[in-house]
A = this chain, B = another copy of it.
Amino acid sequence: MSSESKRVLEAAGVQPTRIRLALAEYLFDGVNKHVTVQQAFDILRGKRLQPSLASLYNTLNEFCRAGLIRKVSLDGGAAWFDTNMAPHYHLYHEDEGRLEDIDTDALKITGRPQLPKGATVRTIDVIIRVASR
Protein backbone atom coordinates (compact mmCIF):
# COMPACT_ATOMS: atom_id res chain seq x y z
CA MET A 1 0.00 0.00 0.00
CA SER A 2 1.62 3.19 -1.23
CA SER A 3 0.29 5.53 1.44
CA GLU A 4 1.57 3.20 4.12
CA SER A 5 5.12 3.26 2.74
CA LYS A 6 4.87 7.00 2.50
CA ARG A 7 4.04 7.26 6.17
CA VAL A 8 6.99 5.02 7.05
CA LEU A 9 9.40 7.21 5.14
CA GLU A 10 7.99 10.46 6.47
CA ALA A 11 8.08 9.17 10.03
CA ALA A 12 11.77 8.45 9.52
CA GLY A 13 12.40 11.91 8.10
CA VAL A 14 13.06 10.66 4.60
CA GLN A 15 11.55 12.47 1.67
CA PRO A 16 9.20 10.07 -0.10
CA THR A 17 10.31 10.19 -3.69
CA ARG A 18 9.34 7.67 -6.33
CA ILE A 19 12.38 5.46 -6.06
CA ARG A 20 12.33 5.51 -2.30
CA LEU A 21 8.64 4.71 -2.24
CA ALA A 22 9.02 1.81 -4.63
CA LEU A 23 11.92 0.44 -2.62
CA ALA A 24 10.11 0.96 0.67
CA GLU A 25 7.10 -0.84 -0.68
CA TYR A 26 9.21 -3.85 -1.44
CA LEU A 27 11.30 -3.77 1.72
CA PHE A 28 8.62 -3.00 4.26
CA ASP A 29 5.87 -5.36 3.20
CA GLY A 30 5.86 -7.10 6.56
CA VAL A 31 8.36 -9.83 5.69
CA ASN A 32 11.93 -9.16 6.76
CA LYS A 33 14.49 -9.31 3.98
CA HIS A 34 18.16 -9.21 3.20
CA VAL A 35 19.03 -7.50 -0.06
CA THR A 36 22.17 -6.36 -1.78
CA VAL A 37 22.30 -3.14 -3.76
CA GLN A 38 22.29 -5.15 -6.96
CA GLN A 39 19.23 -7.12 -5.93
CA ALA A 40 17.36 -3.95 -5.04
CA PHE A 41 18.36 -2.54 -8.39
CA ASP A 42 17.06 -5.59 -10.24
CA ILE A 43 13.80 -5.54 -8.33
CA LEU A 44 13.06 -1.91 -9.12
CA ARG A 45 14.00 -2.38 -12.75
CA GLY A 46 11.42 -5.13 -12.88
CA LYS A 47 8.86 -2.46 -12.14
CA ARG A 48 8.11 0.73 -14.03
CA LEU A 49 11.20 2.47 -12.63
CA GLN A 50 14.65 2.59 -14.22
CA PRO A 51 16.82 3.84 -11.41
CA SER A 52 20.60 4.01 -11.58
CA LEU A 53 22.78 1.84 -9.41
CA ALA A 54 24.13 4.96 -7.73
CA SER A 55 20.62 5.87 -6.64
CA LEU A 56 20.19 2.51 -5.02
CA TYR A 57 23.43 3.02 -3.11
CA ASN A 58 22.20 6.44 -2.07
CA THR A 59 18.76 5.21 -1.13
CA LEU A 60 19.87 2.20 0.86
CA ASN A 61 22.49 4.22 2.70
CA GLU A 62 19.90 6.88 3.39
CA PHE A 63 17.50 4.28 4.78
CA CYS A 64 20.32 3.12 7.03
CA ARG A 65 20.99 6.59 8.35
CA ALA A 66 17.27 7.01 8.95
CA GLY A 67 17.23 3.82 11.02
CA LEU A 68 14.93 1.97 8.65
CA ILE A 69 17.35 -0.81 7.75
CA ARG A 70 20.79 -1.94 8.77
CA LYS A 71 23.89 -2.89 6.85
CA VAL A 72 25.63 -6.23 7.22
CA SER A 73 29.09 -6.64 5.73
CA LEU A 74 30.77 -9.97 5.34
CA ASP A 75 33.81 -11.27 3.50
CA GLY A 76 34.37 -8.06 1.63
CA GLY A 77 31.77 -8.93 -0.96
CA ALA A 78 28.66 -6.90 -1.58
CA ALA A 79 27.02 -5.58 1.56
CA TRP A 80 23.63 -6.82 2.71
CA PHE A 81 20.85 -4.59 3.91
CA ASP A 82 18.60 -6.06 6.52
CA THR A 83 15.08 -4.83 7.19
CA ASN A 84 14.95 -6.46 10.60
CA MET A 85 15.74 -3.72 13.09
CA ALA A 86 14.96 -5.75 16.17
CA PRO A 87 17.98 -7.14 18.00
CA HIS A 88 18.93 -10.39 16.36
CA TYR A 89 21.83 -12.36 14.98
CA HIS A 90 22.73 -13.91 11.66
CA LEU A 91 23.26 -17.30 10.18
CA TYR A 92 25.32 -17.25 7.02
CA HIS A 93 25.22 -20.21 4.65
CA GLU A 94 28.62 -20.08 3.04
CA ASP A 95 27.64 -22.59 0.35
CA GLU A 96 24.67 -20.64 -0.86
CA GLY A 97 25.78 -17.15 0.08
CA ARG A 98 22.53 -16.79 1.96
CA LEU A 99 21.89 -14.81 5.11
CA GLU A 100 19.27 -15.79 7.66
CA ASP A 101 18.06 -14.20 10.88
CA ILE A 102 18.46 -15.78 14.25
CA ASP A 103 16.19 -14.69 17.01
CA THR A 104 17.80 -13.46 20.20
CA ASP A 105 16.12 -16.21 22.17
CA ALA A 106 17.89 -18.88 20.14
CA LEU A 107 21.21 -17.52 21.32
CA LYS A 108 22.18 -15.81 24.53
CA ILE A 109 25.15 -13.57 24.94
CA THR A 110 26.12 -12.89 28.51
CA GLY A 111 28.92 -10.89 30.01
CA ARG A 112 30.28 -7.51 29.05
CA PRO A 113 33.89 -6.98 28.08
CA GLN A 114 35.79 -4.16 29.69
CA LEU A 115 35.06 -1.08 27.59
CA PRO A 116 37.28 1.97 27.30
CA LYS A 117 36.17 4.99 29.31
CA GLY A 118 33.29 6.82 27.67
CA ALA A 119 32.78 4.16 25.07
CA THR A 120 29.32 2.84 24.43
CA VAL A 121 28.23 -0.23 22.56
CA ARG A 122 26.76 0.64 19.18
CA THR A 123 25.81 -2.83 18.01
CA ILE A 124 26.80 -6.41 18.51
CA ASP A 125 27.18 -8.31 15.28
CA VAL A 126 27.00 -12.04 15.51
CA ILE A 127 27.41 -14.15 12.42
CA ILE A 128 27.33 -17.92 12.63
CA ARG A 129 28.91 -19.29 9.49
CA VAL A 130 27.72 -22.69 8.45
CA ALA A 131 28.60 -24.93 5.55
CA SER A 132 27.39 -28.32 4.38
CA ARG A 133 30.76 -29.95 4.19
Size band of the interface chain A makes with B: 35 or more
Task: Determine how many copies of this chain the complex contains.
Answer: 2
The yes or no answer to A124 lying at the interface (CB within 8 A) is: yes
Cα A88 to Cα B110 in complex, Å, equals 14
Contact B118 A132 (CB under 8 A): yes
The yes or no answer to A76 lying at the interface (CB within 8 A) is: yes
Give min CB distance, A127 to chain B, whole Å.
4
The yes or no answer to A62 lying at the interface (CB within 8 A) is: no
Cα A126 to Cα B121 in complex, Å, equals 13
Report A91-124 residues with CB < 8 Å from chain B CB: 91, 93-94, 102, 105-116, 118-124
Contact B121 A111 (CB under 8 A): no
Contact B91 A113 (CB under 8 A): yes
The yes or no answer to A86 lying at the interface (CB within 8 A) is: no
CB<8 Å pairs between A and B, sample of 18: A73-B74, A76-B76, A89-B113, A102-B113, A106-B111, A106-B114, A107-B110, A107-B111, A107-B112, A107-B113, A116-B132, A118-B132, A121-B129, A124-B127, A124-B129, A125-B126, A125-B127, A125-B129
